[in-house]
Amino acid sequence: MATTGFVAEGGCTCGTVRYRLDDDPIFVHGCHCTWCQRQSGSAFAVNAMIETDRVTVLSGKLEEVPIPSPSGRGQSILRCPSCRIAVWSHYAGNGQKLAFVHVGTLDDAGRIAPDIHIYTNTKMPWFTLPADKPAVPGYYRASEVMPLASLARMAALGD
Amino acid sequence: MSETFSAEGGCSCGQVRYRVTERPLFVNCCHCTWCQRQSGSAFAINAMIESDRIKLLAGTPEGIEVPTPSGKGQTIMRCPNCKIAVWGHYGGAGDDLAFLRVGSLDDATALEPDVHIYTSTKQPWVSLPEGKPSFPEYYSAKEIWPPESLERMAALMS
């Protein structure tokens, strides 16, 4: 497996769940949809998309909690069974092979910034988007914004 | 007296629903690494309000104890079904004061941060809004809260 040598660790807030990203993310969303606002309790979610098999669980056993999603196809949130902090999600559209890692749970969350801001039609009005990243009112076409290497990784997941 | 304010919110699955019956005391946007981990995002937005001004309309949140940097702990109130957090209580202020997760409001744009705190660990790509105070760590409420919020807080702690 060709990787960039990127490694980052993270975990929940009580220390039961620890994980490691074994590669850099495919693509990182700053998602301003109202569903992500509710789930995070904040103004947006920061989700790093990565192949689930490139996330190594170092300690703890994750609890998978299914919840509804606006697509109607559902989402499952992986949480620490003790402190309930969410570390990543799977969406029905991409299945279990793709993880949306909640970037705030990384020990050094500042290493990963959103590559794109999505659903900015429901962005909180007081928050100013960074000028140097694409932003779209709803979702986007991966072929138009993802780097070629990321598109290839996404395509490989679908095989 | 304070103006009329009312806002409803809840979890993702609909089991827990609540109504806030008065304008919050103050709204903190907290950029500390603990809030980043709890939210999974770049910061938390917590509206401080007397717990008795949150009326439960449906469901009963379950309290989950988590550690805090102060050592006094926090209880995060979550939907027992979908586990989404709706508010928290901190050991320092006790159960009478709720830190409502603003993103869980049906119209989360109804409240915006009054202050940005722990900006020493702010994500580098996040820019702070002009016109709002910000502090590298915490702050003294008596220096920036409106008098009526200070009075409500004093009444709560008496």
Tell me, what CATH number does B94's domain have?
A: 3.90.1590.10
Mean pLDDT (whole number) for B79-90: 97
**Do A65 and A80 form a contact (C-beta atoms < 8 A)?**
no
Mean of per-residue pLDDT scores for chain A: 94
Q: What is the pLDDT of residues A75-103, one digit of tens each?
A: 999 999 999 999 999 998 778 999 999 99
Residue B1 has pLDDT above 80, yes or no: no
B66 to chain A, closest Cα gap in Å: 6
How far, CA to CA in Å, does B69 sit from each of A6, A120, B72, B158? 29, 33, 8, 26
Share of chain B above pLDDT 90, in %: 91
Residue B33 in contact with partner chain A when CB distance is under 8 A: yes
Taking CA B136 as the corner, what is the angle to CA B27 and CA B31, rounded to the nearest 5 degrees?
50
Q: Check if the interface score ipTM surpasses 0.85.
A: yes
For residue A3, is it within any domain? no
Whether B74 maps to a domain, the answer reads yes
- Check whether A4 has a pLDDT greater than 80: no
Q: Is residue A66 part of a domain?
A: yes
Structural domain total, chain A: 1
Mutate to test the interface with A, among B12, B41, B115, B120 (most CBs of A within 10 A): B41
Residue B124 is predicted with a pLDDT of 97
Of A33-42, A92-101, A105-114, which gets the smallest average pLDDT? A92-101
Query: What's the structural domain count of chain B?
Result: 1
Find the residue in B nearest to A100 (Cα): B40
Are the beta carbons of B82 and A67 separated by less than 8 Å? Answer: yes
Residue A2 lies in a domain: no
Angle at B86 between CA A35 and CA A55, to 5 degrees: 60
Identity of the residue in A41, A126, A130 whose CB atom sits nearest the CB atom of B113: A126
Q: Could you say which of A41, A77, A113 has the minimum Cβ distance to residue B102?
A: A41
Residue B22 lies in a domain: yes
Classified as helix, coil or strand, A121 is: helix
Q: What kind and span of H or E run contains B39?
A: helix B33-39
Q: Is A137 contained in some domain? A: yes
Q: How many pairs of residues across A and B have Cβ atoms under 8 Å apart?
A: 130
Q: Which one-letter amino acid corresponds to residue A50?
A: I
Given the DSSP bridges, would you call strands B26-30 and B115-117 parallel, antiparallel or unpaired?
Answer: parallel
What is the arithmetic mean of pLDDT over A9-22? 98
Q: Please give the residue range of the domain that contains residue B30.
A: 7-157
Does the residue A1 lie in any domain? no
Q: Among B25, B43, B26, which residue's Cα sits nearest to residue B34?
A: B43
Q: What is the mean pLDDT of residues B68-88?
A: 95
pTM: 0.95
Q: Which structural domain, as residue segments, surrounds residue A76?
A: 8-158
Whether residues A13 and B113 touch (CB distance < 8 A) is answered with no
Q: Is the pLDDT of residue A1 over 50?
A: no
Task: Return the pLDDT at A3.
Answer: 57
> For residue A126, what is the domain's CATH number?
3.90.1590.10
Q: Is B95 domain-assigned?
A: yes
Burial code (b: 16+ CB inside 10 Å, e: under 16) for A9-26 equals ebbbbbebbbbebbbbbb
How far, in Å, CA of A67 to CA of A41, rounded? 15
